[in-house]
Amino acid sequence: MSDSDTAGRGWSRRSALTTLTATTAATALGAGSAAAHSVPGHRGPGHDRYEQTANGRLYEIRSGRNRAVVAGVAATLLSWRVGGDEMLLTHEPNDPGEGYQGKTILPWPNRIDRGTYEFGGERLQVPINEPSRQAALHGLMNFVEWEPVRHGADSVRLRYLLHPQYGYPFSVEFSIEYAVDRHGVRCTLTAENRGSAAAPVGWANHTYLAAGPGGTDRMGLRLPAETYYRTNDRLIPTGTAAVSGTEYDFREEREIGATEMDTAFKDLARDGDGHAVVQFGLEDGREVLLWMDEAYGYLQVYTDDAPSEDRGQPARSGITVEPNTCPPNAFVTGEAVRVLRPGERHTATWGLRSTG
């Protein structure tokens, strides 16, 4: 997904959220880098009430040098700090955001071409929210608030029941747990079909890692993928190709340089635990590892190529490598879509850890 789609189109959801942002601005952070700040507006474990922000209730969890803040809207990973350093490219709690930073993407990731797909013998139409590409982008849950189930010192669990609606006539309950330990942050998502008919699901997480002063160009990247997706001018896949010999070959760590990606990958190499591991080399010498279990068979990489002018945030300030359970346009092609029978559950886990 490219956040550049919002540029020059008025970004209509921002105006819709202006009033909410203004009324909660008293608790927002002062001006400064979106990638390095503390996140106020939360109460710790044991409190029955949480201060509301434009991103919903905030839940702080801590363990050792790792601290995370989860926002209720879209079950967003809003902050991950290691030893006091913010590792994510993110935004302030009372800023509704310009794209999908940190959000949990459900019940499908990426795009459905023209918002139309077939399932169970029916032709279904979901809203097109990316008109420039005639696509339904990133599901239905980007602006809904998940309810808290449990909030402890080092973990928080949230849930959301998605009710049947036009274009997605299914009832699916989602439960998510974020936890931190001495290694880093971990996210486990479970989907359960609560309806009486089979339901298609897919998901992703859209967390961005912050780049240093040199931007994305100076970051190292190791991406354990053998295959990438070719796309048309609307970023709908048209086929696949081997990464070997192309600019998308990051099977050995190297600087990203000028390579631009809004690109999906598959055929992921895995370690002895069944994890696919993406490695980021930061300018200060630290490394960050993004790992995901076998439920995540796909990656979507976006090199943050659009500037955020109102925040003074230049292009290529970070990178998102999104763990995906299925590729773009999967509801149309059927590739790797998880079909849940009534009462069936499916669980997937990914995490982040830092060497420094």
Given the DSSP bridges, would you call strands 220-222 and 254-255 parallel, antiparallel or unpaired?
A: antiparallel
- The predicted model scores a pTM of 0.86
For 143, the token pair is 């602006």
Alpha-carbon gap, residue 325 to 193, rounded angstroms: 17
Count of helix runs (H) and strand runs (E) in the chain: 3, 27
pLDDT, tens only, 315-352: 999 999 999 999 999 999 999 999 999 999 999 999 99
Question: Residue holding tokens 């590792």?
Answer: 87
Residue 96 identity: P
Alpha-carbon gap, residue 324 to 336, rounded angstroms: 10
For 5, the token pair is 């789609």
Instruction: Assess contact for 336 and 325: CB atoms under 8 A.
Output: yes
**What are the backbone angles phi and psi of residue 273, rounded to the nearest 5°?**
-90, 5
Instruction: Assess contact for 191 and 338: CB atoms under 8 A.
Output: yes
For 36, the token pair is 């390095």
For 164, the token pair is 């049947």
Alpha-carbon gap, residue 80 to 66, rounded angstroms: 7
In 3D space, the residue among 97, 63, 105, 99 whose CA is nearest the CA of residue 81 turns out to be 63
Q: Which domains does the chain have, with CATH numbers?
A: 3-354 (2.70.98.10)
In 3D space, the residue among 35, 39, 37, 28 whose CA is nearest the CA of residue 88 turns out to be 35
Per-residue pLDDT of the chain (356 residues; tens, 9 = 90+): 444 333 333 322 222 223 223 333 333 322 223 333 334 444 444 444 677 899 999 999 999 999 999 999 999 999 999 999 999 999 899 988 767 999 999 999 999 999 999 999 999 999 999 999 999 999 999 999 999 999 999 999 999 999 999 999 999 999 999 999 999 999 999 999 999 999 999 999 999 999 999 999 999 999 999 999 999 999 999 999 999 999 999 999 999 999 999 999 999 999 999 999 999 999 999 999 999 999 999 999 999 998 776 667 799 999 999 999 999 999 999 999 999 999 999 999 999 999 87
For CA atoms 89, 95, 100, 106, give the dihedral sign. positive
- Return the DSSP state at 210: E
For 9, the token pair is 């189109």
Instruction: Assess contact for 141 and 160: CB atoms under 8 A.
Output: yes
